Amino acid sequence: MKSDMLKLREALEHSWGSDTSYQGVFDRNNMAFGQCYSTSRVVQRFYPEVEIVEGKVWTGKGTEKHFWNALRSGGSLYHLDLTWQQFPSGSIVKEWWVRDRETLGDSQRTIDRIELLYSRVNQYISSVQ
């Protein structure tokens, strides 16, 4: 799984753009910025056993909503965050909860962003194999 996850991370980072980020935010110096929700949903497509986690991150200047993935195994919950690098050094998660995948309630715009990112990731993975 480690090798596959590294390939997925590379594909995600290559596939991010303003059209896959929340509200079109984009920063070439911080490619993960605004990509957390669509990224966590794409990871869930590749690894259906992972859950979506929602939380609040203190950045030193304020609190921001954030999404990532977690995997339950052997009674423990292992967190996996492929977009954490969007936050400044020293940021901390103040609180978090696992979202119920049946009640995510994605809007059509969000679904479109997720589908676009998923498509790009698949294309990238196919091109490097």
Q: What is the pLDDT of residues 109-129, one digit of tens each?
A: 999 999 999 999 999 999 987
Mean pLDDT of 22-47: 93
Residues 79-101 pLDDT 10s: 999 999 999 999 999 999 999 98
Domain boundaries, the chain: 2-128
pTM: 0.93
Mean pLDDT of 48-74: 96
Token pair belonging to 15: 């596939």
- Identify the bridge partners of residue 37 per DSSP, sorted by sequence position: none
Angle formed by the axes of helices 2-15 and 108-128, nearest 10°: 120
Instruction: Label residue 3 by pLDDT band (50, 70, 90).
Output: low
Does residue 1 surpass a pLDDT of 80? Answer: no
